[in-house]
Amino acid sequence: MSTAERTLSTPTLPSRLQAAMSVLAREASALLDALLQPGKVLTEVEQMGKLLVAANALDERDPGRATLLRRRASTIGLN
């Protein structure tokens, strides 16, 4: 097998520059989505706030449930 064949057949890992550019593109896309749909962002922030208030109220009575609510709040908007 020639060097060229090995190079083409071996999956190459993305370089650090490619990875950085990919992250930058995803961030730019998220920013554009937020700018085009401000109502969606506000709704998500309100949901997060309500979950965090509920988690704070449950903290002493049910810490496990409070942790679950905080975890749910932290993932809103990542979908």
- Give 16-50 pLDDT, tens digit per residue: 899 999 999 999 998 999 899 999 989 999 999 99
pTM of structure = 0.60
**Orientation angle between helical segments 38-58 and 16-36, nearest 10 degrees:** 100
pLDDT value for 37: 92
Q: Are the C-beta atoms of 14 and 22 separated by less than 8 Å?
A: yes
pLDDT value for 27: 94
Nearest alpha-carbon partner for 52 in 25, 74, 23 = 74
Written as one string, the DSSP assignment of 19-41 is HHHHHHHHHHHHHHHHHH-HHHH
